[in-house]
Amino acid sequence: MSTKSESRWRLISILMLTVLVVLIGILVKLD
């Protein structure tokens, strides 16, 4: 279970980072 939870949290963290990068890119393009 520890490995599954770690992989799940890792995927969530990667998704959050990608979303932040996309949002920053959109903000920069708008400016």
Distance separating alpha carbons of residues 23 and 3, to the nearest angstrom: 30
Looking at the 3D structure of the chain, how many domains does it have? 1
As given in the structure block, the two tokens for residue 27 are: 């903000």
pLDDT band at 3 (very low <50, low <70, confident <90, very high): confident
SS3 6: helix
pLDDT band at 12 (very low <50, low <70, confident <90, very high): very high
pLDDT surpassing 60 at residue 1: no
Q: Show the domain range for 17.
A: 1-31
Q: What is the pTM of this model?
A: 0.65
User: Residue holding tokens 């998704």?
Assistant: 15
Distance separating alpha carbons of residues 30 and 9, to the nearest angstrom: 32
| 6 compared with 25, residue with greater pLDDT | 25
